[in-house]
Structure 1
Amino acid sequence: MKLRFRAIVRSAVCSGLLLASIGSALAQTQEERALTAVREQLQALQGRLDRSNADRERQYGELRRIELDGAAAAAALEELRGRLAQQQARRVEIDTQSNETRVRLGREREALANQVKMSYLTGREETIKLMLNQEAPERLGRMMVYYDYLNRTRSRRIDNVSRELEVLAGLAEEAQQATRALAALEADQQRELDGLEELRAERAVAVTALDATIDSAEQEIDRLRAEEQRLTELVREINEVLAEFPVDSQEPFSASRGQLAWPIPGTVLSRFGQSRAGAQVRWQGVQVGAPAGTPVRSVYHGRIVFSDWLPGHGLLIIVDHGEGYMSLYGHNEVLLKESGDWVAPGEVIAQVGDSGGQAQTALYFEIRRDGDPVDPQPWMSRAEPQR
């Protein structure tokens, strides 16, 4: 009986151990499956993030291409408008000259007609009578001189009329050429406008696609931080290069604190230190709203050290003022200066736009010292820009 009981117990224990082993194995398999599932989810998430980042970089590249093309088209349109204005002014000048020539021609014709009439009234018979009359030879001499004068004057009048007619014909031909040139320029302008509208439509699609790569506030914060980091790295690299080529400034930038004019008139939309995308990211400069195309002026003399497109800042110009000071102008529509150009205070360097994927036209303005952003407002001569 005891032996049988022991056998039953041994059998039960073995069965229990076997079941426990099986249960443990099952539990381990479930944990591994769960871990594998988590890993797969993490890998899928990382893949989505990688694709999102790749998509974002690709969309940045597309936006850069479109906005640079748009800037070139806008600059070409501006140059075309200048030529058109010159041609229109020339056409007005031609019309004025033509009117003046017609007036002179009318006077010459009238004078010539009067001389012809006078010659007719005097007649050749009177001349013959004087020549046959031997009693007044002195009168004959005077009359011959007078007739000679009339003939020379008449000849001069005829020459003047002929010359004025030639001038008028030349002006008429020039007016026709100016009209054709105006028509060609106006057609070119319309093509540039149409092309610019197409680029703006492309830009809207690119901005929408770029926004679609941002799924959450966290990603928006990451994007803003990445853009700040790009700008900081760019400024650092520029400072390293400028260490070998310092700006020779007789008036140091530091002496201009509280004396600088705002780069554009407009309304301040955001201020230095204000939060953006929550409290985790703050503005490192000021944003001034203004209509597209508003001239952007350098706040101080210096050298252009960057004139290109940068993610998040669009068409950007950076001016080195020496002493480690720089001023930055972002979101422009057109860049009018190139790297290496020297600029004076108040000189136009760009035009306001919404490049970089902005929803409204505004200038982003920064002042940096040794690469670090500082509040621009204390440097301005006015608390607010003029409107």
Structure 2
Amino acid sequence: MRRPARTRPHAAQLGFALAFGLCLLAGPVLAQPAQPAQLEKALQTERKKADERKGAVQKLTEREQALTGKLGEIDARMKAAQIRIQKQEEALDVIRKEEARHAEKFVQVREKREKSVRELRRLLELLWPINAQGMHEGARLADSWDAADRRFQWNSAAYGRARAMLEDVRRQEQLLSGELARQKELEAQVDRQLTIINADKDALLKDKLAVGARINQVSTQRRDIEGELQSIFKTIQQLNYQLVSQRNRKFDAFKATLPWPVAGRVVTSFSPDGRPARRGIGIATTQGAPVRSVFWGKVVHSDVLRGLGKVVILYHSGNYYSLYAYLSDVSVETGQDVEKDELLGNAGYYPEAHGNGLYFELRFQQKPINPQQWLMPAQ
């Protein structure tokens, strides 16, 4: 007898099986899920890291606050120095005005002295011939002695007044010269004080710049550690999600109650031993119908597979997987956690529906299982 010809597997189904197997074997993303004890240990490690980072952030925050306080102290000292400088400048301005007033008065006195000297010179030029004539005539004429004596006394008094006036002018000039020298010394003192205060101000400004740079450095370190902390918190959140999924979201506890991935009509049924073999179900849909996750899980594949269009594969707790094929577009990325009923994409062209549709599989430990036994009763 001739053996019946072996029916060749349906090409699309074979492609799905190969694609699914390759996805499940590809990379650490699809590795076997961690057990609760491993997740607990990983959580403890991440929490310890989070506590260390929080401690570091706290120390850096305190350091930043201390530096900010120091910066405030420097600002206060700079403000005080500025007030001192302003007072010194005001004092210097008063001294300079006083100096200008005395210098003007000195010029006036000097002009007065020069005028007096000129008058005295003219007086001497006038008196000297008279005095010389009187002395000459006094030697020859005894009867004119009294007149000569009167002239001599008058001349002496005139000379005395001139000398007194000249001495008085000299004393005033010396007094003003001394006052001017004192004003100069005061000005020099104020200038020296201003130099000291400005040097102090420059030093404070240098300290302020140094402290400001240190604050920026500490702030950058704090922000970097805060970024690490946020990443750790995200890891903790993911580990918690996996732990909760392991403990409370048992996939096998939802048999016959899972929601349908898309609204539509079943056009191909699960038939792994059929001719051709079908390891999932095909659903005809309206154009662009939304495709949603049937359970909480993680995206382990979100990409185009040759001949299958865009495909999303989700890992669920207990080593269960769900597959969604022939999508027109995808809304999730590999590695992303998804909620139950979360949008994965939209249905595209499905050949066996001769129009828009979705091919859907469920697998346990990579072995296909009948989706219709896990989904809610037919719509």
Q: Same fold by TM-score, threshold 0.5 exceeded?
A: no
Higher relative contact order (CA 8 A, sep 6+): 2
Shorter-chain TM range is 0.3 to 0.5
Structure with bigger gyration radius: 2
TM-score, normalised on structure 1? 0.41
TM-score, normalised on structure 2? 0.41
